[in-house]
């Protein structure tokens, strides 16, 4: 199948399931549900759930239903972080994915609540899965996602972004790793654990996730170069230097998945290049 067709098929599966998740579980509170749906069902790229599903499939070529709830949960966590990140007390953004941010449309308190709802729903979905068989890998995946979303990852990175004076590129990288990289890495690792990867392959996926996360964020910075008001690699690097770093991280990420033995990685390879070379 052509890469873009394959990607669209994977996206459709995520879209359908996000849609179902937000219909069934929250039907007793339709206004809050409308806000959550506005925030989630609006054209996100669905990178993290696709990475999770794909990594799972690399290690366990069977029914992907086992990994799907985790993929949906990680996308909900990502969407909560975007709603909260856009709030006036954080980045104060009016637009997200080409439409008004949640607080701009529904008010600040409702933005906070919609984000809280998505985060809790994510954990509720995962917790439900833990009752099923092969629990050990599921608990590990749960732990990885929760850790990456919390103080050691996204929330901690956001705190440093807001509160710390960033003086060097090394400090910026550390913040990027927590704020953006940790959840991307968690998607990859959760998929690998759920798929039953061995320790040596987990280490390779850890490296892959870390380098992909950094290359993705630096590419994102390049798409938003010299905006002036935000933490961005343009504070420390020339565009050429940044491009070189994107190339370095991409190369290491791709080498890591090529070092997996006897695994079908062609979609993940193409998806990695697609993410790193994207123009939007």
Residues that bind ligand GRG (CB under 6 A): 44-45, 47, 78, 81-82, 84-85, 90, 97, 154-155, 158, 179-180, 217, 220
**Of residues 47 and 237, the one with the C-beta less far from ligand GRG:** 47
Report d(CA 49, CA 72) in Å as an integer: 6
DSSP-derived letter for residue 265 is -
**Of residues 64 and 91, the one with the C-beta less far from ligand GRG:** 91
**Of residues 84 and 103, the one with the C-beta less far from ligand GRG:** 84
C-alpha to C-alpha distances, 247 to 26, 85, 242, nearest whole angstrom: 43, 28, 9
Map tokens 């850790």 to a residue. 147
Closest CB 131 distance from ligand GRG, rounded Å: 28
Closest CB 185 distance from ligand GRG, rounded Å: 13
Task: Evaluate the CA torsion angle 204, 153, 149, 250 in order and state its sign.
Answer: negative
Closest CB 62 distance from ligand GRG, rounded Å: 27
Closest CB 203 distance from ligand GRG, rounded Å: 25
Report d(CA 185, CA 192) in Å as an integer: 11
Closest CB 239 distance from ligand GRG, rounded Å: 18
C-alpha to C-alpha distances, 198 to 60, 130, 192, 194, 202, nearest whole angstrom: 12, 21, 9, 11, 6
**Of residues 74 and 141, the one with the C-beta less far from ligand GRG:** 74
Report d(CA 184, CA 178) in Å as an integer: 10
In three-state secondary structure terms, 91 is: coil
**Of residues 231 and 254, the one with the C-beta less far from ligand GRG:** 231
């Amino acid at each position: 199948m052509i890469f873009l067709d394959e990607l669209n098929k994977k996206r459709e599966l995520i879209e359908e399931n996000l849609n179902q998740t937000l219909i069934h579980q929250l039907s007793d509170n339709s206004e809050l549900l409308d806000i959550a749906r506005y925030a989630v069902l609006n054209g996100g790229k669905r990178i993290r759930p696709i990475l999770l599903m794909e990594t799972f499939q690399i290690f366990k070529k069977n029914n992907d239903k086992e990994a799907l709830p985790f993929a949906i949960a990680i996308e909900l966590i990502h969407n909560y972080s975007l709603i909260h990140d856009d709030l006036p007390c954080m980045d104060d953004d009016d637009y997200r994915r080409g439409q008004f941010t949640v607080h701009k449309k529904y008010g600040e308190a409702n933005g906070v609540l919609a984000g809280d709802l998505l985060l809790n729903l994510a954990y509720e979905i995962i917790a439900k899965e833990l009752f099923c068989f092969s629990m050990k890998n599921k608990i590990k995946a749960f732990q990885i996602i929760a850790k990456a979303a919390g103080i050691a990852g996204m929330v901690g990175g956001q705190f440093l972004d807001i509160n710390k004076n960033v003086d060097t590129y090394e400090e910026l990288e550390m913040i990027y790793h927590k704020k953006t990289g940790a959840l991307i890495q968690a998607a990859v690792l959760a998929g690998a654990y759920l798929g039953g990867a061995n320790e040596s392959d987990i280490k390779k996926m850890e490296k892959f996730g870390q380098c992909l996360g950094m290359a993705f964020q630096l590419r994102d910075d390049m798409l938003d170069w010299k905006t002036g008001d935000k933490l961005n690699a343009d504070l420390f690097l020339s565009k050429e230097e940044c491009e070189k770093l994107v190339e370095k991280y991409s190369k290491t990420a791709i080498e890591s998945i090529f070092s997996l033995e006897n695994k079908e990685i062609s979609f993940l390879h193409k998806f990695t290049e697609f993410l790193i070379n994207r123009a939007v």
